[in-house]
Amino acid sequence: MDILAKIVRDKRQEVALRKSLVPSIQLERSILFERETYSLAENLKSSETGIIAEHKRRSPSKQVINHDLNVFDVAKGYEHAGVSGMSVLTDGKYFGGSLDDLIIARSSCELPLLRKEFIIDDYQILEAKAYGADVILLIAAILTREEIEQFSKLAKSLGLDVLLEIHNEEELHKSIMPSIDMIGVNNRNLKTFEVSLETSKALSNLIPDDFVKVSESGISNIEAIKTLRPFGYRGFLIGENFMKTNNAGESAAQFINDLLS
């Protein structure tokens, strides 16, 4: 079984358990459920850098990245660095994240926050809103067209932006719909874990201009961004690059400074 199928199988069990512990109505009564959200898509359209910086402790491909950095400090540091948005991993088993990370990040910055999660149920979208997210991630590889439509419409009704992640042309074609704001091309091959920016280049012309284009994975230097900009990319998701340092915020600030100079 490939890693994605394994994660989804575990996620179904996890979500069933969470639903039994905290009913949807309780999520909808949370204080943050009423807050006005920040738009990542709009930020990216007007940003000079388009950096979406991530908080990620570990991953199935890299194991431990950094268990020492405090989410509060990372979020504050990213905001101070001038990133366009922050991605927060909330999967526990494979990435060492949690919904607590999301709520801590929300309390420490005013950046648009992306809940980076394997969404397979409406319930997780209600959670995202209740814990302070502004954006959800939908992964085309694990969802049907009907699910993408259902989840993205629910997110839009709650004032959340939707970033739809694809790996190939087939996933792109099943995902094009008006309830999507951003299309993210993941440069990592999920079967081999190899990363190639050629994936973003090859798919760029196929993505309609109505969507903000985001490139994900393998963006570890400013050359990568300069290479992808002419292909229409406005957003660049950077995870491990900042997190593997002792100070993610300072690392992001230096990166942005280099990019703009």
Residues with active-site annotation: 54, 56, 116, 165, 186, 216-217
| Per-residue DSSP letter, 95 | T
Q: Look at the block and give the residue holding tokens 């149920």.
A: 121
Contact in structure between 65 and 243 (CB atoms under 8 Å): yes
What is the three-class DSSP state of 195? strand
| CB neighbour class for 201 (10 Å; exposed up to 12, middle 13-18, buried from 19) | middle
Task: Please give, one letter per residue, the 3-state secondary structure of 48-60.
Answer: CCCEEEEECCEEC
CA 25 – CA 126 distance, rounded (Å): 9
Q: Which residue in 237, 183, 170, 172 sits closest to 209, CA to CA? A: 183
Q: Which two tokens stand for residue 49?
A: 């850098």
Q: Which two tokens stand for residue 116?
A: 């980076």
CA 181 – CA 152 distance, rounded (Å): 9
